[in-house]
Amino acid sequence: MKKLLPLFLLSLAACSEAGPREAEPGVSLLRNFSMAEASAGAFAWRLDADTGRLDEKRGVIIFSAPRVKFFEKDAVSSEITSRSGLLRMREKSAELAEEVEVDAKKDGMRLRTAKLYYSSARAKIWTEEPVTIYKGRTVIKGRGFTANPDLSEIEIQHQETRLSGK
């Protein structure tokens, strides 16, 4: 968490805006903000969002239109997008919802689901919701899955696989 704080404070400073506030005490409104987790000078992930609300008391950020990029050796290994999300700063975990899509850059695999969870401590993404994975002509459907953020080492429950047309 200490590694997140300096980056987060910088994003708050960059997002501050003069004018009337609509937030209650202890809540900061964020606009076009970024935050990241770094280790040994390299990004593990970076979150960009259009808007957000930081509730300092609860240690939660609720954001809209998040784009989370995961890195491996300074290169983007995957990107997750959704319409909304929530970051629990103390637990270093996130919940993404509404039209969640994971794009694995290495092998061109894509995943779609309604809700997705991420834990920095586990370095895993998962859901109990229905998932659809696309790779070339192969379509895999299931309900519930766990994987690395770059979609390597996938475990899917209740799986159905088929080949789609050209």
Query: What is the tens place of the pLDDT at every residue in 71-86?
Result: 998 899 999 999 999 9
DSSP β-bridge partners for residue 11: none
CATH number at residue 33: 2.60.450.10
Q: Is 15 helix (H, G, I), strand (E, B) or coil?
A: helix
Q: Domain count of the chain?
A: 1
Question: Among 96, 135, 134, which Cα is nearest to 114's?
Answer: 96
139 Ramachandran zone, left/alpha/beta (phi>0; psi -120 to 50): beta
- What is the pTM assigned to this prediction? 0.81
In a domain, 20, yes or no: no
* Domain-located, residue 19: no
Using the predicted structure, report yes or no on whether residue 113 has a pLDDT greater than 60.
Answer: yes
Radius of gyration (Cα) for the chain, nearest Å? Answer: 17
Residue ranges making up the domain that contains 157: 4-14+25-163
